[in-house]
Amino acid sequence: MGCGSSKPESVATDHKQQEAGGKGQNERQEQKKQKEEKKTPRKPEETEHTTEQTADDLLKMFEAQRQEAFAEEESGPGEQEGPVVDEHAELMKQFEKEREEAFLARVPSFGVDPAVIEQGMSASENQHVKEGSAGAEVKAEGERGAEPPNEEEMTMQDYVRQAEEEELRRQEEEHQQWQHLHEPMLVRILSVNDVYELDNLPHLATAVKAKQHGARTIFVLPGDFLAPSLLSSLDNGMGMVECLNACGVELVCFGNHETDVPHPELISRILQSSFRWVNSNMTDIQLGKGADRTSEFEIIEVESGGKRRRIAFLGLLTEDKALYRPGAFNNASIEPVEEVAERLLKRLYEEEEVDLVVPLTHQVVGKDRELARKMGSRQTLSSM
């Protein structure tokens, strides 16, 4: 009886063990199936992303799948790592390709060669992806505020930002250059003539000094200042020249009344003056040592804002013989104003390469207007 009764117990035990074994096998198969489903990458249509996924979305998906794979490796029964590594490599390549295409699509708008920036992408860019670039880039973004990243540590966003900054600097430089080239140069020419008395010269000196601020000011006097006056009949124009020196006159030309003083006194006044005498159409006048202070034309260079311009001045005295006494200017000959102006105008522009020619004339207003019409058509004042 004892042996007969033990057989049913053994059969029941075996049956329970078989059921437990089958249940455990089913559980292992279910776990294995779940692991395989987790390892298998989801198809694009099974994800929540559309075909317009951005680089950041791919980065987040890659990071989540990698974390799941690490968790399985730590808790699972020692699966082979080959397939997991291959899947990670494929995802990494896909992410890098998507982000590079998105970046290069933006670069042309900054006027930068994509090939140059593509070559500049260092190996540290890939390292960010391998080590979890989501956290690394956020950390790098916070550190950029203190100092610019080294070339080896620059990410794609750094290259985009650098391209934008370089483009802004280039546009600013072009704008400044345009303003510099097109900014007009201001030159102020103050002219008085037929000055016979000294009363108003202090006011004139004050006006000249006031006008010298903010622009290059050139003070000229086209003739008739040595005579006639009561004072010049006594000192032959000595007091007048002394006052004009103090006023800051730069250029003068002869007027018909400069011959009212004796010729030796005229030479003395030329030597006394601190300004230049421009004599364009009476070149055979005999002035002795005074000739050193006269010239056929004068060129003054004006500079402003890095630009330099050359302005030529002529000194033209009327050839009207009715205005002179016999033997005027020690029998010097006076050439026609328009003829001399035409000849010198061509010479100054072609040989001296000046930017502007300004005639100082001592003649009637009608002839001045006629000369201005003829000379004005040959000059481009906007070149200043």
Render pLDDT for 30-56 as a digit per residue (tens, 0 to 9): 766 666 665 555 554 444 444 445 666
Query: Is position 4 within any domain?
Result: no
Query: Is position 304 within any domain?
Result: yes
Phi, psi of 274, rounded to the nearest 5 degrees? -100, 0
Query: What percentage of the chain has pLDDT greater than the value 90?
Result: 39
In the numeric block, which tokens belong to residue 296? 């056929």
Query: Is position 35 within any domain?
Result: no
Render pLDDT for 85-126 as a digit per residue (tens, 0 to 9): 456 667 677 767 776 676 666 554 444 444 544 444 444 444
Total domains in the fold of the chain:
1
Query: Is position 118 within any domain?
Result: no
Residue 356 has pLDDT above 80, yes or no: yes
Query: Is position 17 within any domain?
Result: no
Q: CA–CA separation, 25 vs 10, rounded Å?
A: 22
CATH of the domain at 278: 3.60.21.10
Q: Can you give the residue range of the structural domain that contains 198? A: 187-377
Residue 248 has pLDDT above 80, yes or no: yes
Mean of pLDDT values over 142-164 = 65
Query: Is position 323 within any domain?
Result: yes
171 or 135, greater pLDDT: 171
pTM: 0.53
Query: Is position 227 within any domain?
Result: yes
Query: Is position 296 within any domain?
Result: yes
What pLDDT does 379 receive? 57
Three-state helix/strand/coil letters over the chain: CHHHHHHHHHHHHHHHHHHHHHHHHHHHHHHHHHHHHHHCCCCHHHCCCCCCCCHHHHHHHHHHHHHHHHHHHHHCCCCCCHHHHHHHHHHHHHHHHHHHHHHHHHHHHHCCCHHHHHHCCCCHHHHHHHCCHHHHHHHHHHHCCCCCCCHHHCCHHHHHHHHHHHHHHHHHHHHHHHHHHHCCCCEEEEECCCCCCCCCHHHHHHHHHHHCCCCEEEEEECCCCCCCCCCHHHHCCHHHHHHHHHHCCCEEECCHHHHHCCHHHHHHHHHHCCCEEECCCCCCCCCHHHHHHEECEEEEEEEECCEEEEEEEEEEECCCHHHCCCCHHHHCCCCCHHHHHHHHHHHHHHCCCCCEEEEEEECCHHHHHHHHHHHHCCCCHHHC
Residue 311 has pLDDT above 70, yes or no: yes
